[in-house]
Amino acid sequence: MEKKRCNFCYGTKVSEKSLRYHDTRWCKPEHRDGELFAMLVLEGMQAGVSWDLILEKEDNFRKAFDGLDPECVAAYGEEKIEALMQDKGIIRNRRKIMAAIGNARAFLAVQREFGSFDAFLWSFTDGKVVDHRLTDIADMPARDALSERVSAALKARGFRFVGPTIVYSYLQGVGVINDHAADCEYR
């Protein structure tokens, strides 16, 4: 028998990648700085497009952006930017690409300041997961006070494409917020 999932996994066609993301990564606590950076880039790239599209292109992003390693991305110059702008496997938006590079530099500065990005990010919740135990997808906010605080802190440190709505999705993606339905067996 198939396990019960959050109610947004039913109805319209959900891709296998989306189901796998829901089942194995979404709202699961992440503490590896490399993956925290990767998700920050992917969430920023998602602005204005569907998360399904980002998941379909995730492998391409990781390849094009040198494994989404913040040290590599922070060192990008004009030649690499132009190569990324020609890469049909990713979102070719100059503002988003430039934000990824600037965010890599800001990310490295946060690591130096706090010892790790993980320490910075999880400090907003004292290292605890915020579990909303939702009963319906309709109860899930697009943003909240936590995402507004984190967004403001990121912006103050020079990050871009980190508005409260993007940050809320990011916090879900890295497990700071658990918005799996209370009866979802993938909690």
Catalytic residues: 21, 43, 51
Going from the C-alpha of 73 to that of each of 5, 33, 95, the distances in angstroms are 36, 14, 15
Residue 172 and residue 187: Cα distance in Å, rounded? 12
Residue 139 and residue 46: Cα distance in Å, rounded? 22
Q: Which of 146, 136, 137, 139 is nearest to 170 (CA)?
A: 146
Longest CA–CA separation in the chain, Å:
53
Other CB atoms closer than 10 Å to residue 68's CB: what's the count? 22
Cβ pair 106, 158 in contact under 8 A: yes
Q: Which of 4, 1, 2 is nearest to 185 (CA)?
A: 4
Going from the C-alpha of 107 to that of each of 58, 70, 117, 170, the distances in angstroms are 20, 7, 7, 15
